[in-house]
Amino acid sequence: MSRFAMIGRRLAQAIPSIIGIIVVTFLLTRALPGDPAVYFAGPAADEKSIAEIRAALGLDKSLFEQFWLYLGDLARGDLGVSISTGRPVLEELATRLPASLELTLVALIFAIGTALPLGILAATRPNSWVDHLCRVVVTAGVSLPVFFTGLFFVYTFYFLLDVVPSPLGRLDIFYIAPDHMTGFYLIDSLIVGDLDTFGASFAQIVLPAITMGVFVLAPLARMTRASMLQALGSDYIRTAQASGLSRSKVLFSYAFRNALLPILTTLGMVFSFMLGANVLVEKVFAWPGIGSYAVNALVVSDFAAVQGFVLSMAILFVLVNLAIDVLYTIVDPRVGIEG
């Protein structure tokens, strides 16, 4: 089977997941407590106006009809209107998404940049201090509640050492947000060449990103170490070494390239963790992303907002998994030869 056919089949496999996600999010919101019609109508409303609003929202129809309407809304990109802010949910999510993505990506870069060297060093020097360090990081990393590490960092680096600005949002109030291009402050400020703003937003993102990075470091480092050990112990490495190839060539071209595949698979799980951790980290650092939006919506039972959040996170997760699998077929040269 050709590589394109493989990718096509993988794309088709994502469809049932997406259908499942839509059904589940629909069912979840229908079970939300409170009557949205009463909420919309306000405290002064009588029976008649509540019934009118209920009809306007489509809440008087059968569950099946409501689901049909919901599908139609989704197809038009209409996620409903947030009860608490009165703005369309899609618009709010779209304005807040770059903040969350920026945080997640910086955290991911930090985690990969730390976990891969750590895992490789630990695998090449078993029982050395690097190996022990790796073991400690792996064991401690999975036990640390992400909101707790965040607070601990705030206390140490903000209160005691005073090396970072106050942990409130993406930018100190003395700075003006850079013009909206990508929505990533780090990139936008560089594009316009405003190094001051770049520095300020970098100072703000360091702590939350490291907090989140530490959380996902453990599975990545463990997988890197394990798969590097396995790769280094295999026959083709012995052959490569016997052929007199240089150490770095053996390590990176042969061992690491093969070890990369299981690491890529772990990335899917890592993303599931990160999207969840996002919510907690954003709350700790008052980060204006979609996670803190969802937390605020949850508190006031804002059903459209919660539904939109869960739906968009799930779709994002499906897309990430899809991208990882496609990347996998590209990285692995054996795919497309065997079939």
Q: How far is the CB of 212 from another protein (least distance, A)?
A: 13
Q: Which is nearer to another protein, 89 or 121 (CB)?
A: 89
Q: Which residues bind another protein (CB under 8 A)?
A: 16-18, 20-21, 23-25, 27-29, 31-33, 139-140, 142-148, 151-152, 154-155, 158-159, 166-167, 271-273, 275-277, 279-280, 283-284, 294-295, 298-299, 301, 306-307, 309-310, 313-314, 317-318
| Cα 205 to Cα 28, 239, 329, distances in angstroms | 33, 46, 33
Where does residue 176 fall: left (phi above 0), alpha (psi -120 to 50 degrees), or beta otherwise?
beta
Q: Which is nearer to another protein, 151 or 187 (CB)?
A: 151
Which residues are paired to 91 by β-bridges? Answer: none
| Cα 52 to Cα 88, 224, 234, 301, distances in angstroms | 21, 59, 71, 21
Stated as kind and residue range, the H or E segment containing 50 is helix 47-57
The full DSSP string for 57-82 is: HTTTS-HHHHHHHHHHHHHTT---B-
Q: Which is nearer to another protein, 138 or 259 (CB)?
A: 138
Q: How far is the CB of 250 from another protein (least distance, A)?
A: 32
Q: How far is the CB of 207 from another protein (least distance, A)?
A: 12
Q: Which is nearer to another protein, 100 or 197 (CB)?
A: 100
Q: Which is nearer to another protein, 17 or 66 (CB)?
A: 17
HSE-up (13 A, CA, CB side) for residue 334: 4
3-state secondary structure labels for all residues of 151-193: HHHHHHHHHHCCCCCCCCCCCCCCCCCCCCCCCCHHHHHHHCC
77-96 b/e with 16+ CB inside 10 Å = b?
Answer: eebbbbbebeebbbebbeeb
Q: Which is nearer to another protein, 189 or 292 (CB)?
A: 292
Q: How far is the CB of 67 from another protein (least distance, A)?
A: 15
Q: How far is the CB of 84 from another protein (least distance, A)?
A: 13
Q: How far is the CB of 281 from another protein (least distance, A)?
A: 11
The full DSSP string for 90-120 is: HHHHHHHHHHHHHHHHHHHHHHHHHHHHHHH
Helix axes 303-331, 257-284, angle to 10 degrees: 160
Q: Which is nearer to another protein, 130 or 306 (CB)?
A: 306
Q: How far is the CB of 28 from another protein (least distance, A)?
A: 4
Q: How far is the CB of 108 from another protein (least distance, A)?
A: 14
Q: Which is nearer to another protein, 163 or 181 (CB)?
A: 163
Is residue 35 classed as helix, strand or coil in its secondary structure? coil
